[in-house]
Structure 1
Amino acid sequence: MSKKNNEVIKNENTVQAIVIADTFGDEFVPISNDIPHALLPLINKPLIDYTLEFLSLGGIEETFLFCCTHVDDIKDHINKSVKNNEVWTLTMKVNIIVSESCRSFGDCLRDLDAKGLLRGNFVLLEPGTISNIQLLPLIKKHNELTKVDKGAAMTVVFQEAGINHISRCPQEEVLIAVNSQKRILSYKKMWKNRERKVDFPLEIFLENPCVSLMHNLKDAHIAICSPSVLPLFSDNFDFQTKDDFVRGLIMNEEILGSTVYCHILKGSQYGGAVTSWRMYQALSQELRQNWIYPIVPSRKRNRALKNNVMVGEGTVFDDSTFLNNAVLGEHVSIGKNVKIEDAFVLSNCKIEDNVIITHSVVGPSCVIKAKSKVTAGSILGKGCVIEKDTFIENSLVQANEPEECGNGDKLGRKAYRLRIDDDEEEDRSIAILAKKMSRLHIQEENYESEYYSDGFSDSEADGLSYTQSPAPDDTKLFFTEVIDSLTRGFEDNLLCDNLILEINSSRYAYNVTVKEVNFNVIKAILTISLRHPIGAQYFSHLSRLLSYFAPVLKNYIRNESAMIDCLQAVEDVATSNEELKEKWVMFVLQYFYDKDYVSEDAILDWFSTLDQKGKFHTQVKPFTDWLQEAEEASSSESEGSD
């Protein structure tokens, strides 16, 4: 076989990916006016670097980066990365495709179809995608699927995530119905659904013996595609987004002859994208806590401080500066008595004395003069100059005067407030939510009001109000997530190390104390055991459960204080479940004692705090009596030997 033929075969087997670099929206205005989405710094590292690193580690050999705006900036960055021998350049080739005429995600794919660059199954990424998954097994699985179902066009990747997961985005909430082969039968975006009910076609239940309705998912913005995907976009010009494509194929399955499947990420697998400022905030948090390992922020460009703060190279600040849950870019100068909390300050900014910045984003090269305050979801574009004693709340601000500048919109010589177009309520609501810096947790009350309210209040027309309904107890939400993680781990036989990572991520998300973590983890394990009927086989099931979770127990019961937390969890479960008898209490205490999870001293100290008139005290007393008798017998034997 000739060398040329060998090269052709190699090219045909090359694992390829498509990355769309543009969002085609105004989610990141005014910063996106000067910085392309692909180069938006996330913890002082451009978004595209995270994406390319993920693809390289995932097994991709050739990537097509499709650009429509800021093309020269992106080309310069990619060329610089190649020159500097970045990690992804060692195993992957990147081709930049330019088409300034494209106005949507679908237009890009139609243009790629016309160019004929793709040769087989490929990975399709939406803008700003970050993940840590291995792609080759997914591609192989999709390839096997196409052999069984010739019409299989796409496998959409979701991540399992509870209702309060920090990176679930309201605009991306999805409800899907799938059959036992994970073929998507119904796909509904919940954001635009203003009613409390969802309709499903009756035939999906009549034609499929098993149908699962899934709402515990978030879109990973990753899809494994067959070669038919690009021609399908070309043949259907109403497909402008991936969601349009998925819904269109499902609704017209008989006509188009194509099907869509899904793959669910679990455990430590992660997939997400920076699609809004809220998601920017969430992914920043997850990267800071190493939840997307091995994808991590640059250690060379950042130093980590206490209070969940990351600081870029060349940034200086006074000892009087208060920093909490913030990211500072490179070469930022900060004066005295400055407070920066729950905020992002990009590179080359100057912050003068007595400035307060909270829940906001400050773009590159901004100057905020003394005694000013920027708060409540404000976004400052590149080069803004905020004059002394200026108060900015819930506003988009840019340095250049906009075409429509009303009274009060001029905040300074280089600071103008942008107005939101109120022509259409739906567009208005999306624009508002795109620019807000909301809390990391979607609380249930706000979840319902955001989904089902008939509209936005007058105060929201100028920017989302920062007044929120009372939040549910974060500790209870943490406990619920721990229950979900441990239950899934036991059922799917997941590694306990991965479960510990999930629990720790939930801890940071809900900001619970170490004591609350210890207590709720033990309580969750015991609560899971009670789902098994209490009968002849119960205690063998409980032993198997406790043995499986041994690494988890050892991780959280590390000292005397944690032992007390553990025993208090036993007390809480026993007193909350009246059907539990003395035998259950004795078994659990004996197990924890025999495995050295709790010491005799800890048990006796804890027992001394129990209500002597209570039923639980009576249940525990035989065990403590046994401990004391054993101690006395041991002492007697020791004295006799002397």
Structure 2
Amino acid sequence: MAPKKVSGAPLAAGEEPLTAVLLADSFTQRFRPMSLEKPKVLLPLVGVPMINYTLEWLASNKMVKVYVFCCAHAEQVKQHLESTGWTHDGASMDVQVIVSTACKTAGEALREVDIKDVIKSDFVLVSGDVVSNMDLGAALEAHKMRRDKNKNALMTMVMKAGITASQRRRRGDIGLTLAMDPKTRRLLRYEEVEPARAMPKQAVIDAHFWGEADEVEVRADLADTHIYICAPEVLMLFSDNFDYQNVQRDFVLGVLSEEELGQQIHIHELFREYATCVQSLRAYDAVSRDILQRWTFPFVPDTNLLPLSGSQGVSKYTMSLSQLELTYREDNIVLGRTAVVGHDTALGQGTVIGDGAQVEASVIGRDCHIGRGAHITGCHLLDNVRVGDQAQISHSLLCDNVHVGAEAMIFPGSVLSFRVRIGEGHQVERNTNISMCQQLQQSASLSDDELEYAREGATSPPSEAAAPGVSANGTSSGQMDAFSADGHGFDQQLVGPKGQGYRWHSHGADVDVMRFSIAPPPPLRPVAADDLSDEESQAATNDEAPDVQPMDPDAAFRREVSETFLRCVAMGYDQDLAVIELNGLKIAEARDFADNASYIVTTILSLCLPAAPRVREEYRKLFPATTPDSRTPAGRSELITRLKAQLRTWAPLLQKFLRSADDQVNMMLTIEEFCGEEGIFENTGEQGRLFEPVFAQLLAALYEQDVLEEDAVLQWAQEKEHADEEDKVFLRKAEEFIQWLQEAEEESDEDEDDE
């Protein structure tokens, strides 16, 4: 089946045909061990191979010819382009493949393109992991006008504007500080900042810039989209300068450092449209969520515009929006009667989800089977994945044909590559990579940002015939890793009983592993002054933003209260001793009694549900194993029964930290956030949203145990009456309980009057 195409209008008379060079190799190792077996550009992004987003976007911009440059796994890429119709006669673009498995960097690839002598005019340079919906028209026109006036205007870099430090961190991006001429948009300075941080208070600009421009604009809110409009001379410069290996760090900086040659680079800013590059697993997760939340329209699941792989044709997603929960589903989905599918989730064709299973904020591929009572949060499951009953998986990526045994737990940041098996009841630690390709030797000289290493067109993992110390393409182990897939000697401590797979170590430092992890970025604690370098200390003195962002103080205090309370429960502390422990936290952090009460009660609520992934191992026994389905009467009853049992024990403790009606109102506001999974309770895996349908019964239970007083509930309701409509969700849920309190108050007043 031929893929649908979002094609632009036909070329106008005299208009030059547009040409693009697409690099189908990342020239890094950030997607290992997955990219050992499948090229990064063919990994599915919300069910669609990554390269198809790039090709379809090029087609929508009236691109006439595209040269796809392949290095590693070239045969797989060629087969994909053939099977999806991109290289067929009559396609919307003329797609031609250039293969050179000897290229190890982007610079070498562009030199090879120059040798082929296929580029005769200006062209678009893009990598095969770019996702965009931008209209190239304005950028192309501006580039053409500059070229007509000045042939030294070699490149236009497309930059996304308005990017904050938190957005960079969400995608694992580097920070950029740029200087440019605000009138001509000529780039004057390009500096990468590690790690990403907020706009600096000071920037050093060379004095000679002022001789060329009346004004210099310094920006730190721009992100490189990896979309470049280039003159043919760009390829010539790569051929003339063999030390140019990277577009940004070599070519751009090289041109800027040789201003005496008159060559220029310009910036095109992108505002409302979407464009980004999937450079790491962190970016893979972030871009997937952007697609699910429709920032990339029309390239979203339910438009079904993008071809899949092989003979699969196009996707068949339909969108569902219920109570602000956005989900996408293909055909032949089988859901158990009590299965729960939460917000921002896509389910692929043929997927089966068992009774009591919960799936939220996840992309589930085709023909996956998720067992009864399993819990999957923030994950990416590719095709034909099997998850056993009661298994728990959080913020991880599982490739094709992975099997996870019953009651196993996969902790955040884990990557299970193709055909890996995890034994029943086994736990996979955070940020663990497991592959069927054995990493025999790790070279300390490499980093994950270095070359991916083409393997002579290999289309499968290296065979067991690889000699010790020699890789599948014959390179010695002193130059790169050696691999094996002999199927023997699996580490049972790593994969569990009857499991299969080998540990895969990343080359990067621990900070890079965390930065590029598939899991969301963790909150960062403030840096002690002793840990700062002289420059960082000086920056802090000058009120500049430090490189390390502080953790949200509320989130940090909430974590301390929660863990202290759980320790008191686990150790069987007398409540008076627990009060001393918790009060010590309040004093140390200069907090209010209400803060303690708020985070104690949310911990009590979490104790009514299975343990969240972040809960420490020694406290997991305190949590129940099953999750009530709060959409059903029986599930709601079970949830409230559990809550009442907890309150019978801990209500006296809560009462000691609630000194006034205002304290109780503040606690109710925190409970709202917990039940709505908002603020510091977002993406914690605690499933607070399950309490949303029983919010009124929750308040009634607190009222019955004298944790909440009538005046406090009515005060909360009165304050909520003045809120925006979207902030009245829980007020509406509690209407009957509030009405009952008001009627009871009126009857009490009447009785007092009669007396």
Instruction: Give the shorter-chain TM-score range.
Output: 0.5 to 0.7
Deviations 1:299-329 (A, max 9, x none): 4344345411111011101131111110101
* Among candidates 499, 503, 526, match of residue 417 of structure 1: 503
2:554 and 2:205 map into 1 onto residues whose CA distance is 34
Deviation at 1:166, TM superposition (A): 6.6
8 Å CA contact 2:54, 2:129 repeated in 1: yes
For residue 162 of structure 1, what is the aligned residue in structure 2? 164
Q: Does 1:436 align with 2:517?
A: yes
Q: Does 1:62 align with 2:65?
A: yes
For residue 541 of structure 2, what is the aligned residue in structure 1? none
Deviation at 1:163, TM superposition (A): 2.7
More helix by share: 1
1:321 and 1:453 map into 2 onto residues whose CA distance is 49
For residue 256 of structure 2, what is the aligned residue in structure 1? 250
1:227 and 1:246 map into 2 onto residues whose CA distance is 15
For residue 384 of structure 2, what is the aligned residue in structure 1? 348
For residue 277 of structure 2, what is the aligned residue in structure 1? 273
Q: Which runs of 5+ in 2 are unaligned?
A: 1-11, 305-314, 318-327, 330-340, 442-488, 535-547, 556-675, 680-718, 728-755
* Among candidates 382, 385, 410, match of residue 421 of structure 2: 385
Distance 1:568 1:324, change over 3 A: closer
* Among candidates 152, 177, 180, match of residue 178 of structure 1: 180
8 Å CA contact 1:309, 1:324 repeated in 2: yes
Q: What secondary structure sits across from 2:362 in the alignment?
A: strand
Distance 1:568 1:24, change over 3 A: closer
Distance 1:240 1:306, change over 3 A: same
Deviation at 1:149, TM superposition (A): 2.5
For residue 308 of structure 1, what is the aligned residue in structure 2? 344
Structure 1: which 4+ aligned runs deviate by more than 6 Å? 9-12, 192-197, 405-409, 442-449, 451-454
TM-score w.r.t. the length of structure 1 is: 0.65
Distance 1:200 1:127, change over 3 A: farther
Deviation at 1:169, TM superposition (A): 3.7
Deviation at 1:16, TM superposition (A): 0.4
For residue 243 of structure 2, what is the aligned residue in structure 1? 238
Deviation at 1:332, TM superposition (A): 0.5
Q: Does 1:401 align with 2:438?
A: yes
Distance 1:103 1:400, change over 3 A: closer
Q: Which runs of 5+ in 1 are unaligned?
A: 1-8, 422-426, 455-466, 475-509, 514-560, 570-642
For residues 509-588 of structure 1, what are the structure 2 equivalents within 5 Å? 564-565=722-723
1:231 and 1:447 map into 2 onto residues whose CA distance is 47
Q: What secondary structure sits across from 1:323 in the alignment?
A: strand
Q: Does 1:135 align with 2:143?
A: no
Deviation at 1:511, TM superposition (A): 7.5
For residues 75-474 of structure 1, what are the structure 2 equivalents within 5 Å? 75-82=78-85, 90-160=91-161, 161-165=163-167, 169-180=171-182, 181-191=184-194, 199-243=204-248, 244-255=250-261, 257-267=262-272, 269-297=273-301, 299=304, 300-302=315-317, 303-304=328-329, 306-393=342-429, 394-404=431-441, 410-411=494-495, 413-421=499-507, 427-428=508-509, 432-433=513-514, 435-439=516-520, 470-471=551-552
2:149 and 2:229 map into 1 onto residues whose CA distance is 16
1:38 and 1:162 map into 2 onto residues whose CA distance is 27
Deviations 1:144-175 (A, max 9, x none): 01122221110001111233337864443211
Q: Which moved more, 1:21-30 or 1:184-193?
A: 184-193
Deviations 1:229-273 (A, max 9, x none): 100111111111111211110011214x31110011012x11101
8 Å CA contact 1:360, 1:375 repeated in 2: yes
8 Å CA contact 2:173, 2:196 repeated in 1: no
1:310 and 1:229 map into 2 onto residues whose CA distance is 41
1:326 and 1:446 map into 2 onto residues whose CA distance is 31
8 Å CA contact 1:151, 1:259 repeated in 2: yes
2:65 and 2:373 map into 1 onto residues whose CA distance is 50
For residues 497-516 of structure 1, what are the structure 2 equivalents within 5 Å? none
Q: Which moved more, 1:162-171 or 1:286-295?
A: 162-171
Deviation at 1:83, TM superposition (A): 7.9
Deviation at 1:406, TM superposition (A): 11
Deviation at 1:295, TM superposition (A): 1.5
8 Å CA contact 2:438, 2:504 repeated in 1: no
2:400 and 2:351 map into 1 onto residues whose CA distance is 13
Q: How many residues align?
A: 457
2:533 and 2:428 map into 1 onto residues whose CA distance is 27
8 Å CA contact 2:491, 2:501 repeated in 1: no
2:45 and 2:196 map into 1 onto residues whose CA distance is 32
Q: What secondary structure sits across from 1:109 in the alignment?
A: helix
CA RMSD of aligned residues (A): 3.7
2:397 and 2:526 map into 1 onto residues whose CA distance is 23
For residue 76 of structure 2, what is the aligned residue in structure 1? 73
Distance 1:433 1:125, change over 3 A: farther
Q: What secondary structure sits across from 1:314 in the alignment?
A: coil
AA aligned to 1:178 is: M
AA aligned to 1:26 is: Q
1:148 and 1:98 map into 2 onto residues whose CA distance is 36
1:266 and 1:80 map into 2 onto residues whose CA distance is 36
Distance 1:444 1:353, change over 3 A: closer
2:155 and 2:87 map into 1 onto residues whose CA distance is 35
2:25 and 2:86 map into 1 onto residues whose CA distance is 24
1:201 and 1:234 map into 2 onto residues whose CA distance is 29
8 Å CA contact 2:371, 2:388 repeated in 1: yes
Identity %: 28
8 Å CA contact 1:176, 1:213 repeated in 2: yes
For residue 714 of structure 2, what is the aligned residue in structure 1? none
1:254 and 1:448 map into 2 onto residues whose CA distance is 45
Distance 1:167 1:281, change over 3 A: farther
8 Å CA contact 1:402, 1:418 repeated in 2: yes
AA aligned to 1:368 is: V
Distance 1:347 1:194, change over 3 A: closer
Deviation at 1:564, TM superposition (A): 4.0
1:225 and 1:361 map into 2 onto residues whose CA distance is 36
Deviation at 1:415, TM superposition (A): 1.6
Deviation at 1:568, TM superposition (A): 13
8 Å CA contact 2:491, 2:502 repeated in 1: no
8 Å CA contact 1:307, 1:324 repeated in 2: yes
2:230 and 2:107 map into 1 onto residues whose CA distance is 14
2:229 and 2:130 map into 1 onto residues whose CA distance is 14
Deviation at 1:420, TM superposition (A): 3.5
Deviations 1:118-138 (A, max 9, x none): 121111102300111112332
Deviations 1:396-428 (A, max 9, x none): 11123321499887535522112244xxxxx43
Q: What secondary structure sits across from 1:221 in the alignment?
A: strand
Q: What secondary structure sits across from 1:402 in the alignment?
A: strand
Q: What secondary structure sits across from 1:56 in the alignment?
A: helix
8 Å CA contact 1:154, 1:261 repeated in 2: yes
Distance 1:341 1:177, change over 3 A: same
1:131 and 1:472 map into 2 onto residues whose CA distance is 36
